[in-house]
Each structure stands twice: as structure tokens, then as C-alpha cells.
Amino acid sequence: MDWLTFWDAKASAGNDFQATGRGLMDVPGYLNTVAEIVRILDLHQGDHLADIGCGAGLIAMTLAPWLKRVYAVDLSPALIERASKNLAGVNNVDLKVGNLTELPLTDALVDKLLAYSVLQYLADESNVSQAMHEVARVLKPGGRALLAANPDPTQRLVYEAVVRQRADQAAAAREISLLDDLLWLPEAQLLELAAAAGLKARIEPIDACIWQHFYMFDLVLEKSK
């Protein structure tokens, strides 16, 4: 799958949730997502945050008033364009086109890093390994990363069954056909790849208020001081 073309096309969707693949999310779900990010990353006012796979910039917009600076990066130039319109007038967010596997950020730049629902769009395990090394490189010593919402291969059939029950059968079929193109790495494999990049890693469940919680898990990474 050519994810760059896929996400560039999404950028012209009718609203920002749809443009970032959050079309099924309601407002309480989004607010719970933000709360979970703040809690897991232990965000503070002085923090520099990298938001990788920022999409239309909704999470950057929500968090920027509470942080020192946000470096928002996305693979899709069209989504970065949409994010720059959303963030017009916000002066502590830097937007850049870039890839999680080769971040356009300098070494030890950020206290915290977020990549929400991004890892699954990498092609293979070696790309994930590159991404982990990039996370380790751009984090300051003692920094923390949240690679959130990774699809769990043990829950794939459960998820497919839920999608099949949707009223819009054509949309359900399209979504199921995309599942083969996502990267479904087991928790243990992600923990090993993180350790190989020198990061301490743990798995966290996703809050039950967030609709994807039943088939996805969060990965939390820490760089030693």
C-alpha cells in the first residue's frame, strides 16, 4: 500500500476527524484520548513535544497552549498543509513533512514524543527498528515516548467481526481489505525492538472510553538519563 497517496487523499475529507482517520470518533472519545496522552506522557508546561504523524494538527492544537513547543511532523504534505491552516496564529508549533523512520529533528531535541496511530503504517519490522532508533535519537536523556494505538494481532478476528456488523457494508468491506496492509506486530516483538534501540519499554492498555481499545495497545518508551 502506498500510504503517502492514501493520506494525501484523506487530507481533503470534509472534516478534520475524517482527514486524520478518526472518522468514527466522537468528542468524548477524542477528549479521553487527549487525557490519556497527557497522563502517560506526564506532560508539563516546560516540555518540548514531538507529535509524529500529526495529521491535521488536532492533537498539536489541543496541547500547544500547555507546552513550551510542539514539533509536528507528518508523512503527508497535504495533511501538513491542512494542519498549517488549523494552526494559523499558534506560534509554538513547528510543522514539517517527514517520516517516523527518518525524523527531520535534531538529536536530543524533545522531552516527550507522541506517535498516535502511526507505527501500523510502517512497512515491516526493519522500518519499526529504524523508527525506534529515531525515537531514541531525538529524545533528551530521561525523555519519554508514547507510540499509541498499535493493532494487536491476537485481536484481529475480533475487530473484523465488529467491522462486519457496521450498517455501511461497502465502507466495512473497504476497511477489512485495508487490514492486510497494516503492520500487526505482537507486543513482545515491539518490546524487543525497543530494547534493541536502547529504550526501556512497556505495554499499556488503551482506556476503555476510547473505541479502539479492544484491539489496540499502547507502547511506552523511556530513554535513560
Ligand X SMILES: C[S@@+](CC[C@H](N)C(=O)[O-])C[C@H]1O[C@@H](n2cnc3c(N)ncnc32)[C@H](O)[C@@H]1O
- Contact residues toward ligand X (CB under 6 A) are 3, 7, 20-22, 52-55, 58-59, 74-76, 79, 99-101, 116-118, 121-122
Cβ-in-10-Å burial (0-12, 13-18, 19+) of 63 comes to buried
Give the shortest CB-76-to-ligand X separation in angstroms.
Answer: 4
Which CB sits closer to ligand X, 104 or 142? 104
Pair 20, 10: CB distance under 8 Å: yes
What radius of gyration do the chain's Cα atoms show?
17
Dihedrals phi, psi of 60, to nearest 5 degrees = -60, -45
The least CB distance from residue 224 to ligand X, in Å, is 25
23 vs 142 by CB, closer to ligand X: 23
Residue nearest to ligand X (CB): 53
The three-state (H, E, C) secondary structure of 155-215, written as one string? HHHHHHHHHHCCCCHHHHHHHHHHHHHCCCCCHHHHHHHHHHCCCEEEEEECCCCCHHHHC
> In terms of CB distance, is 87 or 118 closer to ligand X?
118
Of 8 and 187, CB closest to ligand X: 8
Which residue, 26 or 200, is less far from ligand X as judged by CB?
26
First to last CA, the chain: 39
Strand 139-151 with 110-116, pairing: parallel
Cα angle 56, 61, 66; round to 5: 155
Supply the minimum distance, in Å, between the C-beta of residue 225 and ligand X.
28
Instruction: Report in angstroms how near the CB of residue 216 gets to ligand X at its nearest.
Output: 11
For 167, list phi and psi in degrees, rounded to 5. -65, -40
Cβ-based nearer residue to ligand X, 7 or 215: 7
Shortest distance, position 171 Cβ to ligand X, whole Å: 16
Q: How far is the CB of 116 from ligand X (least distance, A)?
A: 3
